[in-house]
């Protein structure tokens, strides 16, 4: 396994500038309108960084399991190894305050590989940028199983939850935090969700609440205070959801920063939930949701 040298789940630009040769750097820029921001990478990226395609590397193809289902772990390891990543700790960044970088953070952290997110993303970087395409000088890692803990052969069940378990966990008292915007949670019309609303019993915690006005994560004390108001505490006793299992990881990262227990990622999230019309849906605010079907 790769030895840990990261100071925590977040690093700032000053730390990264001083340790750029001791880590692998992953550019995970993506947006709903554009998809993977490959052209933005070519126009300028952190030195020695590698572009990681959220759709092709960090996800299986979209389908009944949602828009960004988790790929099999061996496929993920192979994808990362082929990019030349995994020999060293990984620092991920994007241009949306960690909204997509957190997904790669969760995937590597779940299998025990040292990883952090660059706080503030590319906007916080004050050093020079490189231009060019996706080429990277590092060859593929010869043994993908060496990425993370080699004894972990599947996504750890203690770190995630499947669709069939969701309602039972909520009934048993686990809180489900939905990282989508409050408007999407309430069921207001939007271009992303073909079915409007939220999972019955869920609570709205937009991922943007984790971010301060200057685009970096709020202080750990602030995050701890707000998340504990949602009863986020013990590991495994809360569930993180969103539209497709991406920004849900932002809430999981915020809990780690706050020193709270790891929740479970519902990777399929809303896009998987609504793929089966027999699953119930609520609209309106969490405290007074109305059953839609």
Q: Is residue 201 part of a domain?
A: yes
Nearest Cα residue to 107 out of 151, 148, 62: 148
pLDDT tier at 235 (50, 70, 90 boundaries)?
low
Q: Which of 26, 163, 242, 255 is catalytic?
A: 242
Q: Is residue 151 part of a domain?
A: no
Report the predicted TM-score, pTM, of the whole model to 2 decimal places: 0.95
Q: Is residue 61 part of a domain?
A: yes
Asked if residues 200 and 282 have their Cβ atoms less than 8 Å apart, the reply is: yes
CATH code at position 20:
3.40.250.10
Same structural domain, 164 and 286: yes
pLDDT digits (tens, 9 = 90+) for 29-45: 999 999 999 999 999 99
pLDDT digits (tens, 9 = 90+) for 95-147: 999 999 999 999 999 999 999 999 999 999 999 999 987 655 577 888 899 89
Same structural domain, 245 and 283: yes
For the question of residue 242 being annotated catalytic, the response is yes
| Phi and psi at residue 121, to the nearest 5° | 65, -155
Same structural domain, 199 and 87: no
> How far lies 73's CA from each of 10, 61, 161, 245, 260, in Å?
24, 14, 15, 16, 26
Structural domains counted in the chain: 2
Same structural domain, 103 and 162: no
Q: Give the SS3 label for residue 14.
A: helix
Same structural domain, 178 and 274: yes
Q: Residue 73 belongs to what domain range?
A: 10-128+136-146
């Amino acid at each position: 396994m790769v030895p840990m040298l990261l100071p925590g789940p977040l690093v700032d630009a000053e730390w990264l500038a001083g340790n750029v040769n001791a880590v692998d750097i992953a550019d995970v820029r993506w947006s709903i309108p554009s998809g993977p921001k490959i052209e933005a990478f070519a126009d300028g990226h952190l030195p020695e960084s590698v572009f990681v395609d959220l759709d092709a590397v960090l996800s299986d193809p979209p389908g009944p399991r949602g828009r960004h289902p988790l790929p099999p772990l061996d496929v993920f390891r192979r994808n990362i190894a082929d990019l030349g990543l995994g020999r060293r700790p990984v620092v991920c960044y994007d241009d949306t305050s960690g909204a997509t970088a957190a997904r790669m953070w969760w995937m590597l952290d779940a299998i025990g590989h040292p990883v952090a997110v660059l706080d503030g993303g590319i906007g916080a970087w004050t050093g020079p940028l490189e231009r060019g395409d996706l080429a990277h000088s590092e060859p593929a890692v010869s043994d993908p199983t060496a990425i993370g803990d080699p004894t972990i052969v599947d996504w750890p069940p203690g770190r995630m939850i499947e669709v069939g378990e969701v309602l039972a966990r909520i009934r048993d008292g686990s809180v489900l935090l939905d990282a989508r915007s409050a408007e999407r949670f309430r069921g207001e019309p939007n271009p992303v969700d073909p079915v409007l609303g939220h999972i019955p019993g869920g609570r709205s915690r937009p991922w943007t609440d984790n971010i301060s006005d200057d685009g970096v994560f709020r202080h750990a004390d602030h995050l701890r205070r707000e998340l504990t108001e949602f009863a986020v505490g013990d590991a495994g006793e809360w569930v993180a959801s969103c539209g497709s299992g991406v920004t849900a990881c932002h809430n999981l990262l915020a809990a780690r920063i706050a020193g709270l227990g790891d929740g479970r990622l519902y990777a399929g999230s809303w896009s998987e939930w609504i793929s089966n019309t027999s699953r119930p849906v609520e609209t309106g605010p969490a405290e007074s949701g109305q059953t839609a079907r």
